[in-house]
A and B are shown apart, each in its own frame.
Chain A
């Protein structure tokens, strides 16, 4: 008794059609349906799938001498020796598949791992095509536009999977033997499979195990998100309370000054905790704010925490401990979610391989894989949802955007100030609209994005977080523009499909052009003048200059913190007469708390601004000069102060 139908039924066009339709429908449902509805739809479809595949529980070869003998014969002739014991055992746990998982990790570590994975699990098998019978039209069905569109989307996401995040996720899976051992999976019979097909089945089984472990991680992360949401709100409340305390002390000081009296207790603490510059800043910039606005001003809150340290040390210690804990947990959450999204993208190739089986008319292999497919669907649907969510929201695998948007209902994220007047703005788009009202400010901002003679705004982001700079380029360029860039820049059409700056900058490949990509894109200005060699870079820089308004709140936050000139507590971006400041939100608190640390990762820069005063007759390296033959050494670590 087997989990897959009798051989006579395998070639049945009707059967394969129904199975294909079902697999595709389930998968599309996973991609498109909202989470709540998805669960029930998926459940129904899975039930139908169970009915469709009318096989019974697979026989365990180890308990069936006849089958065991048959399998051993098969093993000797066709199955690779390292895989044979797994097939003979029939049901294996994740720990037993660890070799395959490690092999997958090695493959994924290589450049363009996602595409290689697609090949690994989805390669056409000419031998299986012999199974084709009749004029069955499953191929036509599977190629229907909606299905193809979904495949394209997944392929795109898969290719964008961040190597580093993926590697970390694979490591997290492999390093958890307890979780692996808890996952059991029944393999299909190896009878009739050749070595390549057997290997592919084991790979699929390993992906199922990886997906199950990742799904459990996702459940834990989602629980932690609930806690984080509450804790960030509490942190902001504590900051506001501290700001209220500071406001009271300032008011007491002002009264004392007016009366010509000595400082009261609060004012004395104020003097003891603030520098003269801080007090001047309070007098000049913050004294005009109402209590409410003062309490919600990020700089005021940061100064207030200094005051709190002296006035109420215990309250401050409690805040600090909680803030450190929240930051640590946020990082952990982000790492987990990014890894899950990356893994989800890779496992999405699994479904593509299923689609390819029908496309290539490898029906026998398809039918044999059905139990694995069903297992996979159950395990990977939540992961794929995370992956597709990050792809469709335009943030390449960066779960930060969706994560933070879930934390609070944000009403005010930025302060846009022009001279004495300031406006609270809810989003980066609103800030860019404000900026756009002045053509001078707009031109200044665009001009400052890339510079050859001094660090541009994006170069600073790259110095702190090169992958984030890549995301910002991705957010402002279309898929076609990125592919055209890769094709032209690398002079290699193979680099083009689904190219993303995020992946290319997060883990650059070994070639000189890949190594120099971040430096060339971020540390020089090729918009006005460029060599032909730099034409693709010039085009991208011009596109980014035209579409920077597409950046998210989180990205503008990063831009502000990366380009701050004052301690982080005052973080402000100056653009001509305009000043852009973050408001205390979960986004900005996280960016603020991690701003110093983030800048430890440095950009490998090709073109630097004048590092020392060079005589005018010997100008510093020109922006459009050809890059040096070997990658330059990393610039020194930038010191950050809070």
Chain B
């Protein structure tokens, strides 16, 4: 009787991994197609081989150019700290928060030439209008328009066809703006200080939006390192800006020579992964879905999904 129990236990232990694997395999959904996220770039895949983040160099243009048009009223520029170092620091800090890039600026020893991407930004408009509310009150609507351009130093090409404009605003929702009571003068020093805060917030929001655009362009990419049933290892980890539970679309590209460089001619999504465990340079993932008639292979590439890009970034 005891022997029989022991044998049953041994059998259960032996069959357990197979049962678990089968259960996992059953969770993998087979789909006809998957949406390929935008932003796949063959050139940046070389960073995987080097095992490092994208090096970004940030530059604010025409801030200290005396002849350039000054968009901020002088007093506001002083209050908001519209100086080359102040703005560059703000922009750098904003992009650093994504934790997906190494960021350098004019204060660092790394020059623009040594970076992978150079991002330059320029304030092209800053406005503050007053709109009437009930009872003679007035609300300040503030806008800062930022123009951003990105250059791939490896190819020497600009990543955006034209400069991208992002607009930071305050004043659209109650409580998020300075309100002037009847008789209050916007030129009063105390009121100027409050209005300067609106400018500052609008400027920061413009930088946040610029950062989001940059993140969506310079998306984390990975390569399939190994496959074991539904378990997949990716090259790419925290060092490349991945975080736990990021999801990736695995794709198989066709690479062609275009001039003196190689580019993706087409990209065919083959599977979707979630990576619950992210190490420094690699990530352990599970297959969520696979495209019918395609089998994932080692050497396939992967790119982060739109959903994961918008997820909360843990710091």
A binding-site residues for B, Cβ under 8 Å: 275-278, 280-281, 284-285, 299, 444-445, 447-448, 451, 453-457, 460, 526-532, 535, 538, 542, 563-567, 569-570, 572-576, 609-610, 612-617, 619, 624
Binding-face segment, B20-28, B77-85, B110-118, B267-275: B77-85
A-B contacts, 11 of them at CB < 8 A, read A277-B137, A285-B134, A565-B175, A567-B135, A570-B135, A572-B133, A575-B172, A576-B173, A616-B81, A616-B82, A619-B93
Report B218-239 CB contacts with A as 1/0, cut-off 8 Å: 0000000000000000000000
Q: Which residue of A lies closest to B94 (CB)?
A: A619
On whether the beta carbons of B135 and A569 are closer than 8 Å, the reply is yes
How many Å lie between the Cα of A612 and that of B195 in the bound state?
A: 11
Q: A453-B204, A528-B312 are in contact. Are A565 and B137 (CB under 8 A)?
A: yes
Q: How far is the CB of B132 from chain A (nearest CB, A)?
A: 8
Q: Does B166 contact A (CB under 8 A)?
A: no
On whether the beta carbons of A570 and B133 are closer than 8 Å, the reply is yes
Q: A453-B201, A610-B197, A616-B80 are in contact. Are A572 and B134 (CB under 8 A)?
A: yes
Q: How far is the CB of B236 from chain A (nearest CB, A)?
A: 21
On whether the beta carbons of A281 and B315 are closer than 8 Å, the reply is no
Q: A528-B312, A613-B79, A613-B196 are in contact. Are A455 and B134 (CB under 8 A)?
A: no
B136 in complex: contacting residue of A280, A451, A576, CB < 8 Å: A280
Q: Does B295 contact A (CB under 8 A)?
A: no
Q: Which residue of A lies closest to B203 (CB)?
A: A616
Q: Which residue of A lies closest to B311 (CB)?
A: A528
B201 contacts across to A, CB distance below 8 A: 453-454, 610
Q: Which residue of B lies closest to A535 (CB)?
A: B314
B313 in complex: contacting residue of A529, A567, A612, A614, CB < 8 Å: A529
On whether the beta carbons of A457 and B312 are closer than 8 Å, the reply is no
B35 contacts across to A, CB distance below 8 A: none
Q: Does B90 contact A (CB under 8 A)?
A: yes
Q: Does B262 contact A (CB under 8 A)?
A: no
How many Å lie between the Cα of A276 and that of B93 in the bound state?
A: 47
- Beyond A285-B134, A610-B197, A616-B90, 10 extra complex contacts between A and B, CB < 8 Å: A281-B134, A444-B172, A448-B173, A448-B174, A454-B175, A569-B135, A574-B133, A574-B174, A614-B200, A616-B203
User: When A and B form their complex, which 10 residue pairs have the shortest distance between CB atoms, in order from nearest?
Assistant: A277-B136, A570-B134, A615-B81, A448-B173, A616-B81, A616-B86, A617-B86, A616-B90, A565-B179, A617-B89
B82 contacts across to A, CB distance below 8 A: 616
Report B271-315 CB contacts with A as 1/0, cut-off 8 Å: 000000000000000000000000000000000000000001111
Q: How far is the CB of B78 from chain A (nearest CB, A)?
A: 10
How many Å lie between the Cα of A454 and that of B168 in the bound state?
A: 14
On whether the beta carbons of A281 and B135 are closer than 8 Å, the reply is yes
Q: How far is the CB of B8 from chain A (nearest CB, A)?
A: 33
Interface size on B, residues (CB 8 A): 40
Q: Does B176 contact A (CB under 8 A)?
A: yes
A526 in complex: contacting residue of B90, B135, B203, B312, CB < 8 Å: B312
In chain B between 153 and 180, which residues have their CB closer than 8 angstroms to a CB of chain A? 170, 172-177, 179
On whether the beta carbons of A565 and B314 are closer than 8 Å, the reply is no
Q: Which residue of B lies closest to A532 (CB)?
A: B314
Q: Does B259 contact A (CB under 8 A)?
A: no
On whether the beta carbons of A612 and B193 are closer than 8 Å, the reply is yes
A567 contacts across to B, CB distance below 8 A: 135
Q: How far is the CB of A66 from chain B (nearest CB, A)?
A: 65
How many Å lie between the Cα of A572 and that of B134 in the bound state?
A: 9
Report B127-139 CB contacts with A as 1/0, cut-off 8 Å: 0000011111101
On whether the beta carbons of A613 and B193 are closer than 8 Å, the reply is yes
Q: Which residue of A lies closest to B97 (CB)?
A: A529
Report B42-76 CB contacts with A as 1/0, cut-off 8 Å: 00000000000000000000000000000000000
A527 contacts across to B, CB distance below 8 A: 312
Report B177-213 CB contacts with A as 1/0, cut-off 8 Å: 1010010000000000100110011011100000000
Q: Does B121 contact A (CB under 8 A)?
A: no
B197 in complex: contacting residue of A299, A569, A613, CB < 8 Å: A613
On whether the beta carbons of B170 and A454 are closer than 8 Å, the reply is yes
Q: How far is the CB of A302 from chain B (nearest CB, A)?
A: 10
Q: A529-B97, A542-B312, A617-B86 are in contact. Are A278 and B193 (CB under 8 A)?
A: no
B177 contacts across to A, CB distance below 8 A: 565
B81 contacts across to A, CB distance below 8 A: 615-617
How many Å lie between the Cα of A278 and that of B136 in the bound state?
A: 7
Q: How far is the CB of A535 from chain B (nearest CB, A)?
A: 7
Q: How far is the CB of A584 from chain B (nearest CB, A)?
A: 16
A280 contacts across to B, CB distance below 8 A: 136
Q: A613-B197, A617-B85, A619-B93 are in contact. Are A457 and B136 (CB under 8 A)?
A: no
On whether the beta carbons of B174 and A564 are closer than 8 Å, the reply is yes
Q: How far is the CB of A488 from chain B (nearest CB, A)?
A: 13
Q: How far is the CB of B103 from chain A (nearest CB, A)?
A: 15
How many Å lie between the Cα of A10 and that of B28 in the bound state?
A: 61
A616 contacts across to B, CB distance below 8 A: 80-82, 86-87, 89-90, 200, 203-204
B200 contacts across to A, CB distance below 8 A: 610, 613-614, 616
A281 contacts across to B, CB distance below 8 A: 134-136
A609 contacts across to B, CB distance below 8 A: 197
Q: How far is the CB of A283 from chain B (nearest CB, A)?
A: 12
Q: How far is the CB of B122 from chain A (nearest CB, A)?
A: 16
A275 contacts across to B, CB distance below 8 A: 136, 182
A566 contacts across to B, CB distance below 8 A: 133-135, 137, 179
A569 contacts across to B, CB distance below 8 A: 135
Q: How far is the CB of B108 from chain A (nearest CB, A)?
A: 15
On whether the beta carbons of B174 and A572 are closer than 8 Å, the reply is yes
